[in-house]
Amino acid sequence: MRRLLLAATLILLAFAGRAQKLDSEVLFKQYFSKNADSLDAIEGIWNVSTTQEFYRYDTLYDIQTFAKAARVAIMKKEGKYDSYNLTGESYDVEFQTTDVKGVYLYRNFFRETNEYSKTQAVISKAGEMEYTYDFPDNYLRVKFQDSYEEGTRVVNILKWTKVFPDGKKK
């Protein structure tokens, strides 16, 4: 009887854990709608576009623009703001508040090299956020492999536009 009770409890816990995981845009929207009154301005679903500038010894040699690079959800978790792709997996970006309202410290985790990039991000009243950072050298070495050349620098210019809940309200 105890085994049966233990098995039933474990099954219920497994279902409860799955039920709480947000793994679709619809579930993220439901969460944000349900908690709309308690959300911070940065929380919600964002479209991310990026422009990457490629330099060799400070000489610009290429620009690549990705107008629809990602769609990302940002949620408050344990005193910081984590980001997720809309299947619920980590987007490896986190934001932390600063002493200045609307200014957040941004950290992007690069799994390939186990390091972070840091910069500041500002949210405007129109629900937009823009920031720029350089990709870490070790990350570029891994990504470019044999084609990596000393003096290479890639600047990532990101623009986030809040799409849900309406970014223009806060």
| % residues pLDDT > 90 (the chain) | 53
- CA–CA separation, 75 and 136 (whole Å): 26
Question: What pLDDT is attached to residue 8?
Answer: 41
Question: Is 8 a domain residue?
Answer: no
> What is the distance between the alpha carbons of residues 88 and 36, in angstroms, rounded to a whole number?
19
Q: Is residue 3 part of a domain?
A: no
Domain containing 58 equals: 24-164
- Position 33 in a domain: yes
Tokens 């949210």 label which residue?
123
Token reading at 42: 């940065």
The predicted-structure confidence for 104-148, as pLDDT tens digits, reads as follows 888 888 999 998 887 777 776 679 998 899 999 999 999 999 998
Looking at residue 113, which CATH number applies to its domain? Answer: 2.40.128
Residues of the chain with pLDDT under 50: 3-19, 170
Q: Which residues neighbour 149 within 8 Å (Cβ) at sequence distance 6 or greater?
A: 56
Structural domains of the chain, count = 1
**How many CB atoms lie under 10 A from the CB of residue 106?**
23
Predicted pLDDT of residue 6: 41
